[in-house]
A and B are shown apart, each in its own frame.
Chain A
Amino acid sequence: MELADGVGGPDGDHVDDDEVLYRAVKPVLWKQKHGGEFYLSSQAFADRNRRPSVDRARLCEHDPGHAQFHRSDYVCSLVAEEVRAIATVVRYDNKGVQQVWHNIDVEPVPLPEDPAHAEIYAVPEISGGRLFERLLERLAYLARWENGFGPE
Chain B
Amino acid sequence: MTTALAPSTESPKRDVTPTTVSYKFHPGIGDGESASSIHKNFHTPLWKTISEIIALLSWPEGWNGYDAAAPNSESVGHALKWIEALYRDTLMTDKGWIAPHAVLDADGNVVLEWWKDERKLTVYARPGTVEYVKVWGPDIFSDMEDGEVEGAEDRRKLWNWLTG
Residues of A within 8 A of B (CB): 24, 26, 28-29, 31, 33, 39, 41-43, 46-49, 52-53, 69-70, 73, 86, 89-90, 130, 133-135, 137-138, 141-142
Contact = CB atoms under 8 A, between A and B. Distances in A.
Interface stretch (B13-21, B39-47, B82-90, B99-107): B99-107
Nearest to B100: A31
Interface string B112-156: 010100001010100000010101001011001011000000000
A134 B131 CA distance: 12
Given A41-B103, A43-B105, A137-B120, A69 B140 contact: no
B54 interface: no
B111 A53 contact: no
Nearest to A31: B101
Contact of B101 (A24, A39, A134): A39
B63 interface: yes
Contacts of B115: 31, 33, 39
A42 to B, nearest CB: 6
Contact of B67 (A41, A49, A130): A49
Nearest to B133: A133
Contacts of A90: 141
A24 B133 contact: no
A43 B106 contact: yes
A130 B131 contact: yes
A135 to B, nearest CB: 7
Given A26-B65, A73-B65, 10 more contacts: A43-B64, A43-B105, A47-B66, A48-B68, A49-B67, A130-B131, A130-B147, A133-B122, A134-B140, A137-B144
Interface of A is mostly: mixed
Contacts of A86: 140
B69 interface: yes
A2 B126 CA distance: 32
Contacts of B111: 41-43
Contacts of B144: 134, 137
A64 to B, nearest CB: 14
B146 to A, nearest CB: 4
Contacts of B66: 24, 46-47, 52-53
B105 A46 contact: yes
Contacts of B140: 86, 89, 134-135, 137-138
B146 A130 contact: yes
11 contacts: A26-B63, A26-B64, A33-B115, A43-B103, A43-B104, A89-B140, A89-B141, A130-B147, A133-B133, A134-B133, A134-B144
